[in-house]
Structure 1
Amino acid sequence: MKKVLLVITIVSMSLTSCVSKKKYTELETKNKEIQDLLNTATVKLNSCLTEREAYANQIDFLKKNNSDLINNMGNLTTLTTKGAENLEKSLESLKEKDLRITRLQDALTKKDSVTLALVTSLKREVGMDDPDININVEKGVIMISIADNLLFKSGSYEVSDKAKGVLAKVAKVINSKPDFECMVEGHTDNVPVKNAVLLDNWDLSVKRATSIVRVLHNDLGVSPKQLIPAGRSSYVPLVDNDTPANRAKNRRTKIIIMPKIDQFYEMIEKEMKNLGGK
């Protein structure tokens, strides 16, 4: 640009001496127009350079933004895939736990069904019209409560002949379920007992329980593995020991028929560990 201006100036100076004033004026006007065009072109060039730099920066930003978006999409895909895998594993775990719960419920339902069938069988065998015999279900086990006046004489632990007839019916049901256990609990009133044979009510309650156990095993063929004698003395009364009638109610023997405790609780414990293990 400077060279052009120099040439024009030299030409102008040289022509000043050899051209007319009119021609000089025309050339000067033309030179001014060229100078204006040059200035305008320079301004436009600078503007274009500035815009190009801005566009270049914008392109770099868009490229980086696009790259970030692509990376984020990849991360999102990875997270979505992992989330789907975790969800699937959680659903499988829930299905397994639900299956174990169903099995546990089925086992409990089966136990309850067997218990109900045994109660029905016992009531049919023993009969419901005897006020000295009570059969019901408590806490999932069968309770047979027999008053002492049907089993023993007062202060004695020798089983009466009348009692053996009732025990034979109970033994029939016990023998039909060899996987069940039978706990025999002796209960007394709170009147102290002490003689040459018995030390106290604990002693009397235990001896009465073991007497029943011996009859069930020795005379009626119940497996000794199923039998558990226990003495409760006077510490689990049905009613207050404040009248002769109430004391008579408290003097009783309970025969508790139940699934083998160890087997049942092993099953429960196993299933509960499985439930919490995953």
Structure 2
Amino acid sequence: MKVFGVDIGGSGIKGAPVDLERGDLADERYKVLTPQPSTPDAVADCVQQVVEHFGWSGPVGATYPGVVTDGVTRTAANVDKAWVDRNAAALLAGRLGGGTGGCPVTVLNDADAAGLAEMHFGAGKGRRGTVIVLTFGTGIGSAVFSDGALVPNTELGHLELHGHDAEKRASTKVKDDEDLSWQQWAHRVQKYLAHVEMLFTPQLFVIGGGVSRKAAKFLPLIEGIRAEIVPAQLQNNAGIVGAAMAARAASRDGAAAPAGAGASAGPVSTGPAAETDAATSQVGWPADP
């Protein structure tokens, strides 16, 4: 089964049809730059461009870099403040379907989407205990799983680190903006991981975002963390795949736009029970085909 996924980021908006049998893109992704200012209407124009590039008509899953509840975006750290309390699901569905409902849209937090994909298809598959997926990019996103259940909208990139939001110290954007060496940046990431580990005691950290392609350059430099640390297997496509998964689940549940795969409804299970009864889940975990 193919479903369309769009990943809205602070610097780029990318999407593609996703083969949910394999957990991989069914076509080469199409990417445009995030408009500046990144107002809801301007971003919606870009999402429309990405979706129409493929001539897609059907359910669409879209990520958003912030808190999402019931289709409404509640925060706006790395996009225009006009997104706060905006019904993003309705905005995008109206734009893509022309008001006909041809493209029902499901919206969820970007890191939650990446986490769902990694837990089902990637580095977290089959892992129990506490798993934390962290996405490094314009900011730092987080997805926290406890025995396969997602705790949505954790936004751990906003934990304080040396008097600043952690993402203002340790995101890959900061690495580039400050021209940090891999050693310098890894030291900051290490401090951040140590803080998160102190709070959650995870068994596994999965490091995602585009920088995961270069894991060999920085992961060996991170020391003193008890949890296992691995790069994301789906790398920078995880958000697209997770968005498509959420859209499929919403379609099966008969909900057109349930806000980030029901991000506010409760935990998302990725364990055995989810695999047998996920189609009835209110939180958007897709059942295996």
The TM-score, its normalising length taken from structure 2, stands at: 0.28
Larger radius of gyration between Structure 1 and Structure 2: 1
Which structure has greater strand proportion? 2
Query: TM-score, length-normalised on structure 1?
Result: 0.29
Higher-helix-fraction structure? 1
Which structure carries more relative contact order (alpha carbon 8 Å, separation 6+)? 2
